[in-house]
Structure formats: structure tokens, C-alpha cells
Amino acid sequence: MFKELGALVKGLSVTFRSMFEPKVTIQYPEEKRPVSRRYRGRHVLRRYENGLERCIGCALCAAACPADAIFVEAAENTDEERYSPGERYAKVYEINYLRCIFCGFCEEACPTEAIVLTDQYELSFTDRWDAIYTKERLLEPVPPGGQPTPQKTEPGKFVKAIPEMADFPTWKP
């Protein structure tokens, strides 16, 4: 009997002590909890400073995805309609968030650092179609001073996939 009474007093003492500790409740919609620097949240397709898309449609991200959540369909760039600095661009880019496991393999596989995982964690869907993020939903806004895609360029301006490499001589057999 005294054993149960001692356990009851011990349990009540823990409850009584916690009544005077500071509260850790966060008013969620108004206040957002900071996330870790290495947190992997919502995907974003990045752009260059001039507004061109970084994605060159290589589909290495789709190949690296263990959950098969990414679909990429590439198309050819022309000088009249240029989406990326390379020969190709991603005509269709979709991520199915019902399949995605947020592993970050797509980010590591991308040669142009086009796809990145941000710290945004507010992902909710009302139906299955809302869970498929298309290219339009994934693309970041055009940076200040840039132009939206597609852009019209002069012929021969972009000969390499990465603009920083344009100064290097091209190899010809």
C-alpha cells in the first residue's frame, strides 16, 4: 500500500514541477519553427541570373531517384525559343510527392545544380493530382534583371551547357 502511495506521490511531483516550466508551444500558422541547415524539403528548379532555366533535360535526377518519383521529358532548344543554355531543356518536369522520399539523390546527381531541396515543409494535398508538382510549380521566379523563358537569342551564343564554360575551346576531331 505504501509502495503504491509512494509511486503516486512521485508521479504527482513530476506533474507539479512541469507546471512551472516555460511553455514550448508554437502558434504554428503564425510562427514557424526553424529547421536544420541540412533539412530536405520541397524541391525547386533554379534559374540563371539572366532568367534561363538551369535544367538541361539530362534526366540524371530521374535515374538517381530510388522511388521513381521524377519524370523528365527533354526537347531541343532553338535560337528562337531558348529555355536553357544547353542544346536541350526539360519540356516536361514532374515530381510525384506521394512517391518522393526526400532523399536528396536528385540534387546530388544534377550536373548543373538545377534541382535543389529547400527548407519549405508545408506540403499538403487535397487529392492525388495536387501531389504532382509540374515544372511551372517547381520553377523559381525570374530573378531581377532576367527575362522569362522562352527567350530569343542570336545564333551560336550558347554552345556549351554551362555558360561559365563558354570561354573554353571546343574540341573538334
Q: Domain residues for 69?
A: 40-148
**The model's pTM:** 0.76
Residue 94 in any domain: the answer is yes
In single-letter form, the type of residue at position 98 comes to: L
Residue 79: what pLDDT?
Answer: 83
Domains in the chain: how many in total?
1
Residue 146's pLDDT band (cuts 50, 70, 90):
confident
CATH code, domain with 95? 3.30.70.3270
Residue 133 in any domain: the answer is yes
Average pLDDT over the chain reads: 87
Residue 51 in any domain: the answer is yes
Residue 46 in any domain: the answer is yes
As a whole number of angstroms, the distance between CA 11 and CA 173 comes to: 82
Residue 130 in any domain: the answer is yes
Residue 122 in any domain: the answer is yes
| Cell digits of residue 81 | 525559343
Residue 78 in any domain: the answer is yes
Place of cell 551560336: 156
